[in-house]
Amino acid sequence: MAVYTQVSDEALEAFLKEYDLGTPLSFKGIAEGVENSNYYLETSTGRFILTLFEKRVNAADLPYFIGLKQHLAAKGFPCPEPIHGRDGASLRTLEGRPAVIVSFLEGLSPRKPNVTQCRELGAGMARMHLALADFAMTRENSLGPASWPRLWAGHEADADALQPGLSALIAEDLAAIAAAKPQSFAIPRGTVHADLFPDNAFFLGDSFSGVIDFYFACTDALAYDLAVCLNSWAFEDGGRDSIDYNFSKGAALIAGYESVRPLEPTEREALPILCRGAAVRFFLTRLIDWSSTPAGALVKPKNPLEYANRLAFHRKVETAEGYGA
C-alpha cells in the first residue's frame, strides 16, 4: 500500500517516448499492491496503470506474469493488458526498476463481498482457468507445500507468543498435509492466480469486472485457487476469538465456479486438505511478516491469527460438503 520508487520528470518523459500513448495528463501514485509501486497514468489517449517492480518480485518471473496477462486479454478475459512500446516490448526499465504500463481496468474491490459477489467471483475465476487452459508458459508455485517446512522453521515461538499452543497445531497441519501429499493428487492442474483475495478482484455493482495483481500466479492444482478464495472470501472478520465461515458465501463461490467448470470427484475429495493448505500458506507468510516488523512500525502487518482461526475450522471439515459444495 505504498509508492516505493519516485519517478523523475525526465525519466517519465523519456519512458513515455517509447510508447504511442500521447502526452501525459495526470500521474499519481496509488495505494494498491503490497509489493510494487503503482501509478495512475492518464494520457491524451486513455488511462493506464504504470507499475515499477520492487525487489520482492523476481525479475526472472516477469515475462511469465506479462505473458499470462497478454494471454488472458487476448482471450477477452478482463484483466490489465500490458501495453506494447513502439518496439513491441512491454517490459522495460524505469528508474532502475523493471516497469510495465497496463490498461486501466474499471471496477471496485469489495471490502466485504456479499453472496452475489462470491458467486460471480467463482464463475469469473472458472472462466479465467478455462481461458488459461492453453497458456503454454509454466511457473512453479514458490509458496507451495514444499516451501512450508522451510518457512515454518524457527517461527514456532512466534506462533506460541500469538496464541499459546498454536505451534503444536501448525505442526499437526503440516504433518497432515505431508501425509495427504495434495501436490501429488491426480487432480487437474493449470495456471492459477494463487492470491485472488477480494482486493484483487473488481466489480461493477455486484457484477464481476476483472482480476488484477497476478504476481503469485503459477502452475498448480486448479482447485487450489478455489481453496484460496474460500479462505479469503467466505470467512468473516476473523476476529481473535471467532471462526466465522459464512456457509452461504462459500457455497455461492463453489456454485459459481461449477456453473462454468464443474469440479471433478478428485477435486471435491481434495478440497478440505487444499483449503487447509491455503490457510497454512497465508498463515506462514503473515507470521513471518508479523515477527519481522518492529513493534513501533507505522505500517501494521496483517494478523496471522486470522488464518490460525481459519485453520481451526478446516481441521474439522472432512468433505467438500462441509464447505457447501
Q: How many CA atoms lie within 13 A of 13 on its CB side?
A: 3
CB of residue 74 to a second copy, shortest distance in Å? 23
Q: With respect to a second copy, which residue has the nearer C-beta, 10 or 87?
A: 10
What is the grid cell recorded at 232?
479469503
Of 148-156, 186-194, 268-276, 290-298, which part binds a second copy (CB under 8 A)?
Answer: 290-298
Q: Which is nearer to a second copy, 109 or 266 (CB)?
A: 109
Tell the burial category of 108 from Cβ atoms under 10 Å away from its Cβ (0-12, 13-18, 19+): exposed
What three-state secondary structure class fits 258? helix
Answer yes or no whether residue 96 interacts with a second copy by CB under 8 A: no
Can residue 115 be called a binding residue for a second copy (CB under 8 A)? no
Q: Return the H-helix or E-strand segment holding 166.
A: helix 166-180
One of 29, 67, 98, 188 touching a second copy (CB under 8 A): 29
* Burial class for 304, CB neighbours closer than 10 Å (0-12, 13-18, 19+): buried
CA 257/CA 272 separation, integer angstroms: 16
Q: Does 179 bind a second copy (CB under 8 A)?
A: no
According to the binding rule CB under 8 A, does residue 181 interact with a second copy? no
Q: Closest distance between a second copy and the C-beta of residue 66, in Å?
A: 22
**Which range of residues in 1-9, 143-151, 229-237, 256-264 is near a second copy by CB under 8 A?**
1-9
d(CA 30, CA 294): 25
Which H or E run contains 144?
none
Of the pair 113, 182, the CB lying nearest a second copy is at 113
Segment lying near a second copy (by CB under 8 A), choices 104-112, 149-157, 228-236, 238-246: 104-112
Residues in the chain: 325
Q: Which residues bind a second copy (CB under 8 A)?
A: 1-3, 6-10, 12, 23-32, 40, 42, 104, 106-108, 110-112, 204-205, 294, 296-299
